[in-house]
Amino acid sequence: MRTLDDLDVKGRRVLVRADLNVPLDGERITDDGRIRASVPTIKALLDRGAKVVVCAHLGRPKGKVNPEYSLAPVAARLGELLGQDVAFAADVVGESARSTVEALQDGQVALLENLRYEPGEESKDDATRGEFAARLAGLAELYVGDGFGAVHRKHASVYDVPGLLPHAAGGLVVAEVEVLRKLTESPERPYVVVLGGAKVSDKLGVIANLLTKVDRLLIGGGMAYTFLKAQGHEVGRSLLQEDQLDQVRGFLDEAARRGVELVLPVDVLAAVTFAADAEHDVVEATAIPADREGLDIGPRTRELFAAKLADARTVFWNGPMGVFEFEAFSGGTRAVAEALIAGDAFTVVGGGDSAAAVRKLELPEDGFSHISTGGGASLEYLEGKTLPGLAALED
Ligand SMILES: Nc1ncnc2c1ncn2[C@@H]1O[C@H](COP(=O)(O)OP(=O)(O)OP(=O)(O)O)[C@@H](O)[C@H]1O
Ligand SMILES: O=C(O)[C@H](O)COP(=O)(O)O
């Protein structure tokens, strides 16, 4: 992959695809980790006299304008971190984007509105995506791919635009790939992957492949309930991917056949409702009451997971063990993080919310070997897949 050093950016308009998908509480950014991680590349381009046009997505507005997902608060925070104004375009490729970009002087930066307001960004139809990509590419002369967290998406801004403009990988993408490559080459064993979080349907798919690579797979968070249900247990109103139960039964069989230890929760915190102050009890993972939802792993599971991490030499962790945003349901996530910090394995934590959890729980970031900005992206990289956003940056 070409890097920033291979591009002559002075006086030129450079489109930077960043991952600025940060957690928000209304308009308040609750963790700015991904914005901070994007700053060095943007700053390097500005210092070299480029006119920088940043584009990114926020959440999943599904091709429609929805003010809840506006990047405006992100523009303000990016400006604070850069120490200079960030011009914010009120649309993605419309009149506002064009005039904002045209007004840029060398060393100035603009942020476009949420890419996912445009149906072309995520379209499965190549022509529709290509048409939007051409409009986006028309705003700039060069392209820099730096949104590591989104490189697994075959989206216009990630996959198609680099085909239309001279391009390079940004420093964040280069650094992330370098660390993750270590995990794919010859990980020291035992190699343990811990999976949790809420993007269950997305991430169940990676398990088939991971079973061929790891020694142990610990499953917590919203991911666990589809496994418990597949084993025939009641999971009440917990997060569940009904349509993937057969696939999950296949994973359970495959793990047994391969001798991969697949470790599931033995107890959970079952709440009456999804709320910070929800009434809840510790229940057996095999007997969640029908009117309850599991919002965290229970105390025996915390101990079990810590024991299964104690002798690990390599660990990749994606996805919180519970709804860590609510104090009462953050214990499982804290326990896994503390077990990783206590051990001496090579530890990589990946994902927007997983990294945010480490910071929210005030755990030392240097307790981990690497904190990646990509969750789904890292997992798919570890599977050994060709990721669209990386393939597009190769020559
Ligand atoms: N039992 C659960 N029920 C519902 N939500 C859960 C549960 N456990 C964890 N979560 C939620 O999972 C979310 C994070 O999941 P997600 O899969 O997005 O992880 P991530 O680290 O952000 O990875 P990525 O970068 O791929 O998005 C958190 O907001 C957390 O509240
Ligand atoms: O949060 C992430 O993992 C990335 O920003 C990608 O978001 P997505 O899962 O909505 O494509």
* Assigned token pair, 131: 């048409």
- As a whole number of angstroms, the distance between CA 175 and CA 343 comes to 24
pLDDT at 150 over 80: yes
- Which of 23, 3, 2 lies closest to 356 in space, CA to CA? 23
pLDDT at 192 over 80: yes
Question: What's the chain's average pLDDT?
Answer: 97
> Could you say which ligand is closest to the alpha carbon of residue 158?
2
What is the reported pLDDT for 4? 96
Per-residue pLDDT of 121-144, as tens digits, reads 999 999 999 999 999 999 999 999
What is the DSSP annotation of 292-323?
-EEEEE-HHHHHHHHHHHHT-SEEEEES-SS-
* Assigned token pair, 143: 């392209």
| pLDDT band at 31; cut points 50, 70, 90 | very high
What is the reported pLDDT for 214? 96
What is the reported pLDDT for 186? 87
| pLDDT band at 395; cut points 50, 70, 90 | confident
* Residue 61 near residue 24, CB atoms below 8 Å: no
- As a whole number of angstroms, the distance between CA 93 and CA 132 comes to 8
Pocket test for ligand 1, best of 57, 241, 323 (most atoms within 8 A of CB): 323
- How many angstroms is it from 372 CA to the middle of ligand 2? 13
Sequence-distant (≥ 6) Cβ neighbours of residue 380 within 8 angstroms: 152, 206, 387
Cis before 73? omega within 30: no
Average pLDDT over residues 35-57: 98
pTM listed for this prediction: 0.94
- As a whole number of angstroms, the distance between CA 259 and CA 101 comes to 56
- As a whole number of angstroms, the distance between CA 230 and CA 265 comes to 14
- Tell me the catalytic residues: 34, 199, 352, 376
* Assigned token pair, 192: 């343990």
Distances (CA, A) of 239 to 11, 200, 236: 50, 8, 9
**Beta strands 267-271; 280-284: pairing state:** antiparallel
- As a whole number of angstroms, the distance between CA 277 and CA 272 comes to 10
Q: Give the atom of ligand 1 at the shortest distance from the alpha carbon of 377.
A: 26
**3-state helix, strand and coil shares in percent for the chain, rounded to the nearest 5:** 45, 20, 40
Per-residue pLDDT of 313-332, as tens digits, reads 999 999 999 999 999 999 99
> Could you say which ligand is closest to the alpha carbon of residue 148?
2
What is the reported pLDDT for 42? 98
* Residue 118 near residue 63, CB atoms below 8 Å: yes
| pLDDT band at 201; cut points 50, 70, 90 | very high
| pLDDT band at 44; cut points 50, 70, 90 | very high
Instruction: Count the Cβ atoms, other than its own, within 10 Å of residue 108.
Output: 16
Per-residue pLDDT of 341-358, as tens digits, reads 999 999 999 999 999 999
Query: Taking CB atoms and a 6 Å cutoff, what residues make up the pocket around ligand 2?
Result: 19, 21, 60, 149-150, 153, 199, 352, 375-376
What is the reported pLDDT for 385? 87
pLDDT at 160 over 90: yes
Average pLDDT over residues 165-191: 95
pLDDT at 380 over 80: yes
What is the reported pLDDT for 141? 98
| pLDDT band at 118; cut points 50, 70, 90 | very high
Cβ burial of 366 (10 Å; 0-12, 13-18, 19+) is exposed
Q: What is the distance in angstroms between the CA of the first residue and the CA of the last residue of the chain?
A: 7
- As a whole number of angstroms, the distance between CA 390 and CA 1 comes to 8
Pocket test for ligand 2, best of 34, 153, 318, 381 (most atoms within 8 A of CB): 153
The DSSP symbol for 103 reads T
* Assigned token pair, 116: 């996912």
Q: Give the atom of ligand 1 at the shortest distance from the alpha carbon of 326.
A: 31
